[in-house]
Amino acid sequence: MTPAKAAIEASFAKQGLMRSFKAGIEEIASGRVVLSMPISPAIGQQHGVAHAGASFALGDSASGYAALTLMEPGAEVMTVEMKINLIAPAAGRRLIATGEVVKPGRRLMITRCTVQAEAEDGILRDVALLQGTMIPV
Amino acid sequence: MTPAKAAIEASFAKQGLMRSFKAGIEEIASGRVVLSMPISPAIGQQHGVAHAGASFALGDSASGYAALTLMEPGAEVMTVEMKINLIAPAAGRRLIATGEVVKPGRRLMITRCTVQAEAEDGILRDVALLQGTMIPV
Amino acid sequence: MTPAKAAIEASFAKQGLMRSFKAGIEEIASGRVVLSMPISPAIGQQHGVAHAGASFALGDSASGYAALTLMEPGAEVMTVEMKINLIAPAAGRRLIATGEVVKPGRRLMITRCTVQAEAEDGILRDVALLQGTMIPV
Amino acid sequence: MTPAKAAIEASFAKQGLMRSFKAGIEEIASGRVVLSMPISPAIGQQHGVAHAGASFALGDSASGYAALTLMEPGAEVMTVEMKINLIAPAAGRRLIATGEVVKPGRRLMITRCTVQAEAEDGILRDVALLQGTMIPV
């Protein structure tokens, strides 16, 4: 395991919200991190599909860790701002967030993330698109 | 209780994520809704303060219900998009989100929300600012 | 020329700001429009490179027309909201904006746009990334 | 004239785009700058009202200079990102942008801006709301 991978796994394990959401790491690559979590009534909105806040949280963590893969060892990452467009109801069994750095920088990193919902039959559907800014702290 | 108030309370009670977060309604007024929830390790990020996703979720719900107060009876509301700027660590005992409609419209409503963290001594500090678009469905 | 192409060219010709900017259409495809304009002191900010407002304007028009290619004949398009991340100084001889629909919809369309600056030697550099929402009117 | 005021007026005078737009400074206060510009066909979109790019450009400059009033002498300011919600057609004789710092910081400043259109009869109408991040450079 690379140091970046180990640092991300250690940091992720400390995120209480990700633990509450039963979220897990699917993939860690240079400038790219994929996270997933089950869709359940515990993260629902009033119509039973996942709350925008759940898609946001998973997408924000995936984006932050994608940025962290490109930062100096020992760095930590913080979200400056994040924009989310909700594009379809987050129905199904699982949310999958793919965060990527689209513009690395020493002071700031720009990230994008696609959040998908996996239906019971395995079909993936884009449910949210995020674009934001990460800063090393 | 006005019909709008009753509709919002019924809808809020169905949001599984708000229930998981132990969130509650503080105030419902025309074009303005205030929600709160406790800060606990269960909603933390890696440094123990509340995850951006928790501030976002509470702010998004407050914004949506603020919009709902100005919609036709029977309408439901959906978030089109939401931008969040994180401005301070969300430390303390409670998050408080004040959502307001800044531009009502028949097709679209623009909302703003301030999320504050209440410290153990009761001092409030702004932690996030949201600006977004709601649509009746 | 397809009807969509003709409609976009006619609409573009009516945009006074695009004319003031000496902007032109590079490409019209289904769900994708590319515009360009010269970089000159007339659109500069205080350091001489193109003002963020110029990158935004070109990117916004490219995004709107990309959405228009997928709307009903006779429709017109309006920007609901747009987020721009500025990622590098817009220096060089030309700005090129590539707008694309990432999520078509009957009521709303989500677009993304990359604005590039073309240096004197022809090298392209990404200078801004936009993500926004278009609505038919 | 205070040093901050002088610095902003000097910087503003160098913005070619603001000059092309015939924009002027209405007010400079601590954490707050108001700019204005005439609405004319030269900044129009296809329906004759001001292009979103014009509202954005004026609002972005007002936001940046509002941030500059709170930065160290000699500092310059750059937009990291900016979100705009368009809320009404920008018709009339003048655009007025009021930029304000909502969260000052040493590394980053969060700004908000309201852009208004002044009708022929002097009535003001909000046409756009911006929220963004400025950085000293």
Domain ranges of chain A: 3-136
Which residues pair with residue B133 across a beta bridge?
B81, B110
Sheet holding B24-29, edge to edge: A24-29, A32-38, A94-103, A109-118, A124-136, A77-86, B77-86, B124-136, B109-118, B94-103, B32-38, B24-29
Q: Which chains touch C (3 or more CB pairs under 8 A)?
A: A, B, D
Residue of C nearest to D17 (CA): C43
Superfamily of domain B3-136: Hotdog Thioesterase (3.10.129.10)
Q: What is the pLDDT of residue C48?
A: 84
The burial class, CB within 10 Å (0-12 / 13-18 / 19+), for B68 is buried
B 104-133 residues inside an 8 A Cβ radius of C: 107-108, 133
CB contact under 8 A, A110 and C102: no
The string of DSSP codes covering D25-61 is EEEEETTEEEEEEE--GGGB-TTSSBPHHHHHHHHHH
Test the B interface: residue of A33, A79, A95, A133 with most B CBs within 10 Å: A79
Q: Is B46:A71 a contact under the CB 8 Å cutoff?
A: no
> pTM here?
0.96
Which residues are CB-contacts of B54 (< 8 A; sequence separation ≥ 6)? A17, A53, A57, B21, B37, B39, B43, B90, B95
User: What are the chain D neighbours of B133 within 8 Å (beta carbons)?
Assistant: 85
> Which residue type does A101 have?
V
Strand C32-38 with C94-103, pairing: antiparallel
Q: Is A111:A134 a contact under the CB 8 Å cutoff?
A: yes
| DSSP summary character for residue C50 | B
> Which residue type does D115 have?
V
What number of H helices and E strands is found in chain C?
3, 6
Residue D8 has a CB neighbour count (10 Å cut-off) of: 22
Alpha-carbon dihedral sign for residues A124, B14, B110, D131: negative
Residue A48 has a CB neighbour count (10 Å cut-off) of: 13
pLDDT in tens, chain B (137 residues): 677 899 999 999 999 999 999 999 999 999 999 999 999 999 999 888 999 999 999 999 999 999 999 999 889 999 999 999 999 999 999 999 999 999 999 999 999 999 999 999 999 999 999 999 999 98
Q: What is the pLDDT of residue B1?
A: 62
Residue A95 has a CB neighbour count (10 Å cut-off) of: 26
> Chain B closest CA to D80's CA: distance in Å?
12
pLDDT in tens, chain A (137 residues): 677 899 999 999 999 999 999 999 999 999 999 999 999 999 999 888 999 999 999 999 999 999 999 999 889 999 999 999 999 999 999 999 999 999 999 999 999 999 999 999 999 999 999 999 999 98
Q: Does B86 touch chain A (CB under 8 A)?
A: yes
Q: Does D47 touch chain A (CB under 8 A)?
A: no
User: What are the chain B neighbours of D105 within 8 Å (beta carbons)?
Assistant: 87
Q: Which residue ranges of chain D lie beneath pLDDT 50?
A: none
Q: How many CB pairs under 8 A join B and C?
A: 16
User: What are the chain A neighbours of B47 within 8 Å (beta carbons)?
Assistant: 14, 76
What burial letters (b/e) apply to A19-41, b meaning 16+ CB within 10 Å? ebbebebeebeeebbbbbbbbee
> Chain C closest CA to A10's CA: distance in Å?
30
pLDDT digits (tens, 9 = 90+) for C64-106: 999 999 999 899 999 999 999 999 999 999 999 999 999 999 9
The string of DSSP codes covering A111-123 is EEEEEEEE-TTS-
Rounded Cα distance between B107 and C132, Å, is: 17
Q: Is D27:D34 a contact under the CB 8 Å cutoff?
A: yes
What burial letters (b/e) apply to C69-90, b meaning 16+ CB within 10 Å? bbbeeeeebbbbbbbbbbbeeb
Q: What is the pLDDT of residue D1?
A: 61
Asked casually if ipTM beats, i.e. exceeds, 0.90, the reply is yes
The burial class, CB within 10 Å (0-12 / 13-18 / 19+), for D130 is buried
Question: Which of B89, B69, B72 has its CA nearest to residue B4?
Answer: B69
Q: What is the pLDDT of residue B4?
A: 82
What burial letters (b/e) apply to B40-50, b meaning 16+ CB within 10 Å? eebbbbbeebb
pLDDT surpasses 80 at C32: yes
Q: Write the CA distances from A46 to A17, A50, B65, integer angstroms.
A: 20, 9, 11
Residue D132: strand, helix, or coil: strand
CB contact under 8 A, D133 and B85: yes
Q: Which chains touch B (3 or more CB pairs under 8 A)?
A: A, C, D
Q: What is the pLDDT of residue C1?
A: 62
What burial letters (b/e) apply to A53-72, b meaning 16+ CB within 10 Å? bbbbbbbbbbbbbbbbbbbe
| DSSP summary character for residue A42 | G
Q: What is the pLDDT of residue C119?
A: 96
pLDDT surpasses 80 at C16: yes
Give percent of chain C with pLDDT exceeding 70.
99
